[in-house]
Amino acid sequence: MKDHRKHSKYYIKNQETYWDKRFKKEKFIWGKKTSECSKDAAKRFQRYPNIHKILVLGAGYGRNTKIFQDYGYDVDCLDFSQNAINLAKKFDIKSKFYKISILNMDKIKDLYDGIFGFDILHLFLTEDREKIIDLCYNRLNPKGLIYQAVFSEKEDTFGKNEVEPKTFKSRAGHFIHYFTEQDLIDSFKKFHIIDTGIIKEPENHGEFGPHIHKMMYIFAQK
């Protein structure tokens, strides 16, 4: 446990530097269009009454936060990269941004009716992923909704340099866990699972050029 904490702290610090540098250099890395998953999540949230306040995890420069504003929600966001938040404040002027690690999300005292995360939960080892899911559970009001979109085992990059079952270390130094559907369902066992599925996300950035992610989403209720 102690070792894991030390390791986790080192990883988070390292990743904060990585993302900060990347946002400084590449700015709006994935373009300004909102993701297909965020559109799907916003539509699903709309089907439930009494959903007013949303938290977006690992929000980056806000390309997936503005849509929740457009749907009329009160939106808070967190990211540990100050450079991402500086970009976000120009892009999404209404949301409130917390500069905080997702693993310290309990420092935010508000409770939410919905939590959205895109391309974030798979960036951690098992113990931290479990902690993040627990923290999300505790940040939600009763019957609150959660939508997480993660890398699936169907991704083209699956399968190099394994550090834990189905978790690999990328060239850039981040851990990437490639979820199976069962794995995702098991991870959210505290919640009532409403739906899971795959959504194709076309992206075009950096050395990768045009490519399509096969993101797996889970939609669940507390």
Ligand X SMILES: C[S@@+](CC[C@H](N)C(=O)[O-])C[C@H]1O[C@@H](n2cnc3c(N)ncnc32)[C@H](O)[C@@H]1O
Give me the half-sphere count of Cα atoms (radius 13 Å) on the Cβ side of residue 4: 8
SS3 of residue 20 by DSSP:
helix
Closer CB to ligand X, 115 or 123, in the complex: 123
Pick one of 68, 73, 80, 98: the residue that binds ligand X (CB under 6 A).
80
Q: Does residue 34 belong to the site contacting ligand X (CB under 6 A)?
A: no
Per-residue binding letters, 112-131, with ligand X (x by CB under 6 A): ------xxx--x--------
Minimum CB distance to ligand X, residue 187 (Å):
17
Nearer to ligand X, 107 or 192 (CB): 107
Closest approach, Cβ 7 to ligand X, in A, equals 14
Minimum distance of ligand X from residue 92's CB (angstroms) = 11
Query: With binding defined as CB under 6 A, does residue 95 bind ligand X?
Result: no
Distance between CA atoms of 51 and 54, rounded to whole angstroms?
8
Amino acid at 23: F
Q: Pick from 40, 76, 79, 92: which binds ligand X (CB under 6 A)?
A: 79
Measured distance CA(80)–CA(11) in Å, rounded: 13
- For the chain, the maximum distance between any two Cα atoms, rounded to a whole number of angstroms, is 45
**Enclosing H/E stretch for 214:** strand 209-221
Edge to edge, what strands does the sheet with 140-151 contain?
96-99, 74-79, 53-57, 112-118, 140-151, 209-221, 192-205
Residue 63 in the binding site for ligand X (CB under 6 A): yes
> 135 or 192, CB closer to ligand X?
135
Residues that bind ligand X (CB under 6 A): 12, 15, 19, 30, 58-60, 63-64, 78-81, 84, 101-103, 118-120, 123
